[in-house]
Amino acid sequence: MYQYDAIDQQLVDERVAQFRDQTRRYLNDELSEQDFLPLRLQNGLYVQRYAPMLRIAIPYGMLSSDQLRTLADISRRYDRAYGHFSTRQNLQLNWPKLEDVPDILAELAKVQMHAVQTSGNCIRNTTTDQYAGVIADEVVDPRPYCELIRQWSTFHPEFAFLPRKFKIAVNATESADRAATQVHDIGLHIKKNEAGDIGFKVIVGGGLGRTPMVGVTINEFLPREDLLTYLDAIIRVYNQQGRRDNKYKARIKILVKALGIEEFRKRVDAEWVHLRGKESTVPMSEFERLQGFFTEPAYQALENNPASLTSKLAESAGFARWYERNTFEHKKPGYRIVTLTLKKAGQAPGDATSDQMEKAATLADQFSFGELRVSHEQNLVLSDVRQDQLVDVWEAAKEAGFATPTLGLLTDMICCPGGDFCALANAKSIPIAEQIQQTFDNLDYLYDLGNIDLNISGCMNACGHHHVGNIGILGVDKKGQEFYQVSIGGASGHDASIGKILGPSFAQEEISDVIQKLMDVYVSNRTDEERFIDTYRRVGITPFKEAAYAKAN
Amino acid sequence: MPKLIKNGEIVDNLYTWQQDSESAATETSIVPMSKWLAEQNTIGPVAGIWIDAGEGVESLTDIDLTQFAVIGINFPAFVDGRGFSYARLLRERLGYKGEIRALGSFIADQLGYLLRVGFNGFQFGEEVDLEKALALHKSFSIAYQGDVNEPRPMFLRR
Ligand code: HEM
Ligand code: SF4
């Protein structure tokens, strides 16, 4: 993974010193609440319902075991010994003290980490596929490009006070879009053209929140050397022309929609003419330098399906289940990608205790070259596990509560912190996740239902991606009572779509029952091949709606 | 005399930021860009013009900017970042070499970024202690991106 040199290190160190000074001036009343607010946000610090919340960047999801140990240590010393892995490959601490934050940032800087631009109206942490670099069918490894974007966006002097936040996600494979790129402000799909040159399909104006939208293509093939000048052009147009009068209309999606993609493209091109080919054009040497950090670890020459694996698969149904759901094909024979799920019943989706973080770090050291990834679905990933060590990993993962074999299934939910932590919430979301986990605890049934994305947000800001869940649950406030609106038909992959609302909202205790009814409609309508989303797309919303609102008789 | 920070020093403010379009312009006024554009043939010499957020710099494309000692850019709120692009465009695209002065609600903690996009004059509100602001008058010693002062990104210098 990327290693800081003296330059990168100096920059984060100077940032820590700057924030320490800002915090000191704020606490001494030399800096007003109002002025401090965007400064702390650009360092990941929110003030939430009960305490500040600190969001630590995990750039494009890559984490070394030492970094994870530091996160464990920080959450133990400065928080309540747990953290929340978010859908944006960040880690959130829910209970740090404001005056401790400079020290926390200093600890992070020691292991080449930071909280730079994890919130605020600036370019946020760039995200990508958690399987980057270890799957067979990607065009190229997206991580060097993510690092390029990270450096370009870090302290970009022109774009620190945009109309609204700005999120970029990168995908490098046709077979799946695990980074939900089409619902980002900019989605980049790495492509090779006929001549074999690497470039990007550029998608702009996607986003969730109050006005969910799937992005539109602005450029079919942008040569990779032009990436930064083109991003500069897009964001410069947005910075000047995006709406600033209403924060709910300030995202780039609103500008793109208002102008239409043709006009927006024209304006970007008019800007780009002046930038293209200039100093920010990326030279080959920089691509090579960055690629040099993402070389293959010392893989051994191994065979697929060693006897120790196949025999265990035959004798243990539990192991076979976990293998089928929670591991994924690796590009190298004899290796497998393992997801350590953070979806144990009774634990908020995406939460990990300090102990769990340490255990995951140890597993990474023992079995996966000391590296991990954080996924958009709020899980951890060991990317390079030998197949003949899978049984050991499974045993250890079970013990640490990482082996709930439900990856991709109904109970592998995305869920925002909601009313338990978040000041903006209309309703709690974690108890809904718990209720669903408790109700749908029969693994055979879950397997039979197959892949279903269920996403929960506590308000229309949509941090839990409910719009793009096959089933989406949204907390709403009905005369001071917490209610939940259910939508179906959303998707976040290459077939991205925004879900449709089923109808009037439900009380908290009705949710599992409603989900059950939706499942019944699916099971009785599906063909052998169909996933939930396919059946929905074929039969439409009506049968689901009828079932959900049918009076019990 | 009111003061401002210019080129890293606290100096006398020789010009008047004329915020309305009605008053008569003098050789020491910084007048609204829209006023100057409308009256350019009759207005006579002025110290400079100022651009409001939302106006952009496009209408200056064919104007001889060397006649202005100063071009001001107003920040209606410090989180309104349009002025960052304007300053950069004035320097990089329109080749303006005179003073670019930040006006309005910007704050001292933004100086690092403001300097990098081409501002060199900072007219703070009266309540601001300029000595303290001066302590923040610097960027980080390193930058990844190119900017007005150093157009080459770090990857060309690494
Ligand atoms: C608890 C504190 C949090 C607060 C105050 C907060 C605030 C917000 C707000 C205001 C928006 C809407 C932005 C807009 O529409 O322009 C938003 C969107 C979002 N947040 Fe959060 N959030 C929080 C936690 C989280 C967490 C824990 C995650 C990850 C699990 C997350 C991920 C996202 C995502 C993915 C979006 C949607 C992006 C889009 O609109 O395109 N947030 N957040
Ligand atoms: S969706 Fe709403 S409730 Fe949930 S974290 Fe975001 S802002 Fe808070």
Q: Specify the number of domains making up chain B.
A: 1
pLDDT tens for A72-107 read 999 999 999 999 998 788 999 988 999 999 999 999
According to the model, what pLDDT value does residue A552 have?
58
pLDDT tens for B137-156 read 999 999 999 999 999 999 99
Cβ contacts (< 8 Å) between A278 and chain B: which residues? 151
Which band of pLDDT confidence, cut at 50, 70 and 90, is reported for residue A278?
Answer: very high
Which band of pLDDT confidence, cut at 50, 70 and 90, is reported for residue A50?
Answer: low
Q: In the predicted model, is pLDDT for residue A347 greater than 90?
A: no
Cβ contacts (< 8 Å) between A157 and chain B: which residues? 84, 112-113, 116-117, 139, 143, 145, 147
Widest Cα–Cα separation across chain A: 72
Question: What is the Cα–Cα distance from B38 to B48, expressed in whole angstroms?
Answer: 14
**A266 reaches B (C-beta below 8 A):** no
* Residue B22 lies in domain: 3-157
> Cβ distance A156 to A124 under 8 Å?
no
Q: Is A215 in the pocket of ligand 2 (CB under 6 A)?
A: no
pLDDT tens for B15-44 read 999 999 888 899 999 999 999 999 999 999
According to the model, what pLDDT value does residue A421 have?
84
Contact A157 B80 (CB under 8 A): no
Question: What is the Cα–Cα distance from B76 to A287, expressed in whole angstroms?
Answer: 40
Residue in chain A nearest B86 by alpha carbon: A240
Paired with A335 in beta bridges are A386
Q: Do A134-291 and A414-549 share a fold?
A: yes
According to the model, what pLDDT value does residue B13 have?
97
Contact A280 B153 (CB under 8 A): yes
Q: In the predicted model, is pLDDT for residue A341 greater than 80?
A: yes
Q: In the predicted model, is pLDDT for residue A150 greater than 80?
A: yes
pLDDT tens for A21-40 read 999 999 999 999 888 988 99
- Given the candidates 3.90.480.20, 3.30.1960.10, 3.20.20.70, 3.30.450.20, the CATH classification of the domain at A6-110 is 3.90.480.20
**A250 reaches B (C-beta below 8 A):** no
Q: What is the DSSP letter of A294?
A: S
Mean pLDDT of A517-524: 96
Q: In the predicted model, is pLDDT for residue A510 greater than 80?
A: yes
According to the model, what pLDDT value does residue A299 have?
97
Q: Is A133 exposed, middle or buried (0-12, 13-18, 19+ CB in 10 A)?
A: buried
The residues near A300 (Cβ < 8 Å, ≥ 6 apart) are A334, A386
Contact A35 B107 (CB under 8 A): yes
Q: In the predicted model, is pLDDT for residue A343 greater than 90?
A: no
* Interface residue ranges in chain B relative to chain A, Cβ cutoff 8 Å: 53, 56, 78-82, 84-86, 88, 93, 107, 109-110, 112-113, 116-117, 132, 139-147, 151-156, 158
Q: In the predicted model, is pLDDT for residue A553 greater than 80?
A: no
- Given the candidates 3.30.413.10, 3.40.50.970, 1.10.600.10, 2.130.10.10, the CATH classification of the domain at A414-549 is 3.30.413.10
Contact A162 B93 (CB under 8 A): no
According to CATH, what is the number of the domain A307-400? 3.90.480.20
pLDDT tens for A442-496 read 999 999 999 999 999 999 999 999 999 999 999 999 988 999 999 999 999 999 9
According to the model, what pLDDT value does residue A83 have?
93
According to the model, what pLDDT value does residue A49 have?
64
- Fold for domain A134-291? Sulfite Reductase Hemoprotein; domain 1 (3.30.413)
Quick one: tokens of A4?
């800081």
Mean pLDDT of A416-422: 89
Which band of pLDDT confidence, cut at 50, 70 and 90, is reported for residue A410?
Answer: very high
Which band of pLDDT confidence, cut at 50, 70 and 90, is reported for residue A47?
Answer: confident
Contact B153 A22 (CB under 8 A): no
- Which one-letter amino acid corresponds to residue B75? F
> Cβ distance A33 to A45 under 8 Å?
no
According to the model, what pLDDT value does residue A52 have?
85
According to the model, what pLDDT value does residue A452 have?
96
Pocket of ligand 1 (CB under 6 A): A 46, 48, 53, 84, 86-88, 92, 164, 183, 207-210, 251, 416-417, 421-422, 424, 461-463, 465
Closest ligand 2 atom to A425 CA: 3
CA dist A242 to A184, A463, A499, B50, B89, Å? 16, 22, 26, 21, 17
Please calculate the CA angle A159-A20-A168 and round it to the nearest 5 degrees: 30
Q: Whose CA is nearest to atom 32 of ligand 1?
A: A463
Mean pLDDT of A6-33: 94
Question: DSSP letters along B4-21, please?
Answer: EEETTEEEE--SEE--SS
CATH number for the domain spanning B15: value is 3.40.50
ipTM exceeds 0.90, yes or no: yes
Pick B156's closest partner by Cβ from A31, A274, A279: A279
Contact B140 A279 (CB under 8 A): no
**A159 reaches B (C-beta below 8 A):** yes
Pick B85's closest partner by Cβ from A35, A121, A240: A240
Residue in chain A nearest B88 by alpha carbon: A158
- Which one-letter amino acid corresponds to residue A26? Y
The residues near A91 (Cβ < 8 Å, ≥ 6 apart) are A55, A56, A58, A71, A83, A84, A85, A374
- The number of the ligand nearest the C-alpha atom of A457 reads 2
Q: In the predicted model, is pLDDT for residue A51 greater than 80?
A: no
B contact test, residue of A28, A155, A166, A285 with most B CBs within 10 A:
A155
A contact test, residue of B155, B156, B157, B158 with most A CBs within 10 A:
B155
The domain ranges of chain A are: 6-110, 134-291, 307-400, 414-549
